[in-house]
Amino acid sequence: MKVLVINTGSSSLKYQLFDMKAGKVLAKGLCDRIGLGHSFVKQSNDNGNNFQKEMDLKDHHDAIKEVIQMLTDEEYGVIQNMSEITSVGHRVVHGGEKFYESALINDEVLNTIKESIDLAPLHNGPNLIGIQACKKLLPDVPMVAVFDTAFHQTMPKRSYIYALPYSLYEEKGIRRYGFHGTSHKYVSERAAILLNKPYDTLKIVTCHLGNGSSICAVRNGIAIDTSMGYTPLDGVPMGTRCGSIDPAIVTGLIEHDNYDAAMLNDLLNKQSGVFGISGISSDFRDLDEASKKGNERAELALEVFSYSVKKYIGSYAAAMGGIDALVFTAGIGENNSAIRKSILDGLEFLGIEVDEEKNNLRGKELDISKPGARVRTLVIPTNEELAIAKETVKILKK
């Protein structure tokens, strides 16, 4: 059984082909600069071969055609022909309120994804184009949509209703949705397996810390709260996104400084976060280096980030009545031991005790807690593509 996982962005398309029986990735690749000129495709195969080709990719249809070509190519390919692809899993960012779980793609599902475009125009638009292009090229292959929002759909109303006029929720769907759901689900399930405890008995806080960051509270196998909101801008400060701020800052900038929607979108999404505070970089490696050299704003950016994550952990411990496991994942969560340390310093009162030596280890899945600690603190590499492939198989089996 070979599952192709597709993650479409506005001008890029990432893909991975899984052999589910053998439990391995046969090839992974990226089509970039779609529709922008100087497009290219690069692919790395499990046998260690890497390829890159420049070509004109006018649109996502061209890109998916090229993906199939690369996967079946005599020289670059990993399969003989495209009939070996048994199913396709698509990452879809926004499932709105309709999708509690992944869905087999049919006309009804496609229409519902279309209806959610207004909620996430930057993401769902390209996701839909990717699905439609795939449908044309692989008409007989079943396809599954795996939503970033689905895992969070179990949140109780008190977690997702904003204190705005209720009509905005009823008429326009303005509420907290949450994102990175595939990752939060994957690492929280892995945590239960690593701890050898039933998933539905645990209180887990998962910290997905990458360019985009979000925290999630998972009680008894169900997401009950998360830091991202109506859009992925809410919550902790990120690489270039501001996270939660006082909304009066926005109205003030409109009233007094002539900001319009495009300027505000750019300011809040691209000029803010740790990049905005430091004025140096959105990459935590650069900030670590600058801070070590005495750059105070780089140090401040790192402190603001860790302090915000620490507060979410505390508030989710309060929401769940304690924590059994705390999980770090994604680029920063998996690799940056200094940030983990500064987030966790002072949380001993919750039962979180980390072994400094273990915290400095690098590896696959790690328990970095001190032996007798009440809370198990884990580092678990996320694997959203594998999770999408597994979901695809699960939905098709139903």
CB nearer to ligand ADP: give 72 or 335: 335
**Residue 258 — left, alpha, or beta (φ > 0 → left; ψ -120 to 50 → alpha)?**
left
Nearer CB in complex with ligand ADP: 76/147: 147
The least CB distance from residue 368 to ligand ADP, in Å, is 16
Stretch that binds ligand ADP, among 47-55, 70-78, 279-287, 309-317 (CB under 6 A): 279-287
- Identify whether the C-beta of residue 264 lies closer than 8 Å to the C-beta of residue 254: yes
Q: Which region among 3-11, 50-58, 105-113, 277-285 touches ligand ADP (by CB under 6 A)?
A: 277-285
**Which pair of structure tokens corresponds to residue 7?**
């993650």
Among 112, 331, 358, 365, binds ligand ADP (CB under 6 A): 331
User: Which residue from 101, 283, 289, 299 is in contact with ligand ADP, where contact means CB under 6 A?
Assistant: 283
Q: Quick one: 136 or 292, whose CB is closer to ligand ADP?
A: 292
Q: Where are the alpha helices (DSSP H) in the chain?
A: 60-72, 107-115, 121-137, 157-160, 166-172, 181-195, 247-257, 261-270, 273-278, 284-292, 296-320, 330-335, 337-344, 356-359, 384-397
CB of 42 to ligand ADP, least distance (A): 17
Output the smallest distance, CB 5 to ligand ADP, in A: 15
Instruction: Kindly tell me which residue out of 309, 330, 380, 387 binds ligand ADP, with binding defined by CB under 6 A.
Output: 330
CA–CA dist 242, 7 (Å, integer): 25
Q: Return the HEC string of 119-142.
A: HCHHHHHHHHHHHHHHHHHCCCCC
Is there binding between residue 9 and ligand ADP (CB under 6 A)?
Answer: no
Q: Segment near ligand ADP (CB under 6 A), from 115-123, 224-232, 328-336, 349-357?
A: 328-336
> Looking at 37-45, 161-169, 240-248, 332-340, which segment touches ligand ADP (CB under 6 A)?
332-340
Integer CA distances (angstroms), 67 to 14, 18, 84, 254, in order: 9, 14, 14, 45
Q: Name which of 87 and 336 has its Cβ closer to ligand ADP.
A: 336
- Backbone phi, then psi, for 78, in 5-degree steps? -125, -10
Classify residue 203 by its DSSP letter.
E
What is the rounded CA–CA span in Å between residue 73 and residue 65?
A: 12
Q: Is 79 in the site for ligand ADP (CB under 6 A)?
A: no
Residues 190-249 that bind ligand ADP (CB under 6 A): 210-212
- The helix/strand/coil state of 275 is helix
In angstroms, give the least distance from the CB of 339 to ligand ADP: 9
Number of residues that bind ligand ADP (CB under 6 A): 11
Report 284-323 residues binding ligand ADP (CB under 6 A).
Answer: 284-285
Q: Which tokens go with 253?
A: 């900038």
Task: Please return the burial class of 84, using the count of CB atoms within 10 Å of its CB with bins 0-12, 13-18 and 19+.
Answer: middle
Nearer to ligand ADP, 209 or 344 (CB): 209
Q: Name the one range near ligand ADP by CB under 6 A: 102-110, 170-178, 185-193, 282-290.
A: 282-290
Cβ-based nearer residue to ligand ADP, 186 or 284: 284
**Sequence-separated (6 or more) residues with CB below 8 Å from residue 273:** 237, 238, 239, 240, 241, 242, 243, 282
Catalytic residues: 148
If binding is defined by CB under 6 A, does position 336 make contact with ligand ADP?
A: yes
Identify the CA nearest to 189 among candidates 218, 146, 215, 152. 218
Q: Left (φ > 0), alpha (ψ -120 to 50) or beta: where does 360 sit?
A: alpha
Query: In the structure encoding, which two tokens stand for residue 374, read together?
Result: 């009440």
For residues 99 and 284, which CB has a smaller minimum distance to ligand ADP in the complex? 284
**What are the backbone angles phi and psi of residue 39, rounded to the nearest 5°?**
-70, 155
d(C-alpha 317, C-alpha 311), whole Å: 10
Q: Which two tokens stand for residue 153?
A: 């759909």
Q: Which residue is nearest to ligand ADP (CB)?
A: 331
Our CB check for ligand ADP shows the closer of 71 and 379 to be 379
User: Per rule CB under 6 A, is residue 97 in the interface with ligand ADP?
Assistant: no
Q: Does 335 bind ligand ADP (CB under 6 A)?
A: yes
- Interacting residues with ligand ADP (CB under 6 A): 210-212, 283-285, 330-332, 335-336
